[in-house]
């Protein structure tokens, strides 16, 4: 179910898998990022989100200079109060420089938030398999 939309961004929650998918199309704008970050934190707590899938396949990296902005970097230096979150998977944009900058930001985030895993993927199904690998094992044991 779609929980939130803003411009070319949507947050969708799958209750069966506990995945919050963040779909971003177009450029990264600082104002949009701030709103989405806040919504992800709120929804992840409210719905006890275990997994986040960041689908950035269609982000316009050439028009996204805000990724280098100091205020964007501050978000990734926070300690998050997300006790249920286990994994964040990101589908890359195929812009190596941009993807490396984002990976560096998430590396910083993981240093502040032990116990959360992060990984980049080229394809949707690879990301989903990784997110749900233990989820399927847990459900088979029931």
User: Per-residue confidence of the chain (142 residues) as pLDDT tens digits?
Assistant: 999 999 889 999 999 999 999 998 888 777 888 888 899 999 999 999 999 999 988 888 776 656 666 666 677 777 777 889 999 999 988 878 878 888 888 888 778 778 889 999 999 999 999 999 876 555 555 4
Q: What is the pLDDT of residue 142?
A: 47
Q: What is the pLDDT of residue 73?
A: 67
CA dist., res. 82 & res. 29, Å (int): 24
Q: Are 99 and 133 in contact (CB under 8 A)?
A: no
Max CA distance (Å), the chain: 48
In order of 16, 73, 108, 115, the CA distances from 13 in angstroms are 9, 26, 26, 22
Q: Is the CATH number of domain 2-84+96-141 3.30.1120?
A: no
What the block records as the tokens of 45 is 């707590």
CA dist., res. 90 & res. 68, Å (int): 19
The neighbour count for residue 102, using CB atoms within 10 Å, is: 22
What the block records as the tokens of 5 is 């939309």
CA dist., res. 142 & res. 138, Å (int): 7
Q: Are 124 and 55 in contact (CB under 8 A)?
A: yes
Q: Are 90 and 98 in contact (CB under 8 A)?
A: no
Q: What is the pLDDT of residue 63?
A: 64
């Amino acid at each position: 179910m779609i929980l939130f939309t803003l411009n070319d961004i949507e947050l969708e929650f799958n209750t069966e898998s506990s995945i919050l998918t963040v779909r971003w199309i177009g450029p990264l704008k600082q104002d949009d990022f701030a709103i989405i970050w806040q919504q992800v934190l709120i929804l992840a707590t409210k719905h006890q989100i275990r997994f986040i899938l960041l689908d950035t396949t269609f982000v316009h990296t050439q028009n996204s200079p805000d990724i280098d902005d100091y205020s964007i970097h501050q978000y990734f230096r926070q300690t998050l109060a997300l006790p249920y979150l286990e994994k964040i998977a990101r589908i890359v944009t195929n812009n190596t420089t941009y993807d490396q900058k984002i990976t560096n930001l998430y590396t910083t985030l993981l240093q502040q938030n032990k116990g959360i895993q992060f990984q980049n993927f080229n394809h949707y199904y690879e990301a989903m398999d990784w997110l749900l690998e233990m989820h399927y094992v847990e459900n088979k044991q029931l």
